[in-house]
Amino acid sequence: MSSENKAVPHGHFLDTPELPRGITRFWLIRHAVVEASARKTMYGALDVPLCRDAMAEQQGGYAALARRLPQDARWFSSPLQRAKDTASEIRRAGNFQDNISTDGRFVEQSIGDWHGTPHEQFSACLKLPPHPFWSLCASELPPGGESMLDVCARVSHALEELATDNEGHDMVVVSHGGAIRAALAHALGVHPDTALRFTIQNLSISIIERINGMWRVVAVNELPDFKG
């Protein structure tokens, strides 16, 4: 395209499919599906493994994710194995070379003593009405665990710190549904109960940016082409 035909940027307005380089940007990926027995319970921050059958069936999705992500992004992962294994599969599919760092602030919400409770028994544990789209409301504090308010506080701190330390760079964070909703709450400046209305599916990408100290949301729950 000749220089006279190039569009003149309008601030940071996005109107083309390509995202501009040099922006402090987070690519937030939820881990893949966990194994079947874990899915029958409230596993929260327990370190449950991925479902190997699902991983084999969804290899096209890993390849699609790898193509979507910038090659020079800086990588971070929750310390839970399901997040690290998901990151490894995507990185293998895309032949990413840079190291990956573990950051415990992106771990899933801990529900403490309630971990391992079967889904059908979980509502009896609650002191407050559950959220319509999450297993508990943001203010509910499980014994020995943390509320979604707590999750939002630690995720917010992580985002601000990483954005400052990696200004102008793309960052991939492989994390969990609750932590990604917390990131969206921070970017939008809304109460966690509001952000819990977002759907965050396995292997989806959500994209947020910090520009001149302000946050915006570029994409939420963007799913790869699992057919590759």
The amino acid at 178? G
What is the signed CA dihedral for 158, 85, 219, 23, rounded to 10 degrees?
Answer: 50
Q: pLDDT above 70 covers what percent of the chain?
A: 95
| DSSP structural state of residue 121 | H
Q: How far apart are CA 176 and CA 91, in angstroms?
A: 18
DSSP letter for each residue of 35-86:
PHHHHTB--TTS-PPB-HHHHHHTHHHHHHHHHHS-TT-EEEE-SSHHHHHH
C-beta separation of 16 from 215 below 8 A: no
27 strand-pairing partners: 172, 207
CA distances to 161, 206, 213, 219 from 210, in Å: 11, 14, 6, 14
| DSSP structural state of residue 118 | B
C-beta separation of 145 from 122 below 8 A: no
- 3-state DSSP call for residue 91? helix
Which H helix or E strand runs over 214? strand 214-222
Q: How far apart are CA 102 and CA 134, in angstroms?
A: 26
CA angle 218, 81, 126 (to 5 degrees): 75
In sequence order, the 6+-apart residues with CB closer than 8 A to the CB of 24 are 163, 166, 167, 168, 169, 171, 209, 210, 211
Which H helix or E strand runs over 159? helix 148-165
The mean per-residue pLDDT over the stretch 114-122 comes to 97
pTM above the 0.85 mark? yes
> pLDDT tens digit string along 70-114?
999 999 999 999 999 999 999 999 999 889 999 999 999 999 999
Q: What is the pLDDT of residue 9?
A: 53
Q: What is the pLDDT of residue 147?
A: 98
Q: How far apart are CA 139 and CA 135, in angstroms?
A: 12
> pLDDT tens digit string along 11-68?
688 877 889 999 999 999 999 999 999 999 999 999 999 999 999 999 999 999 999 9
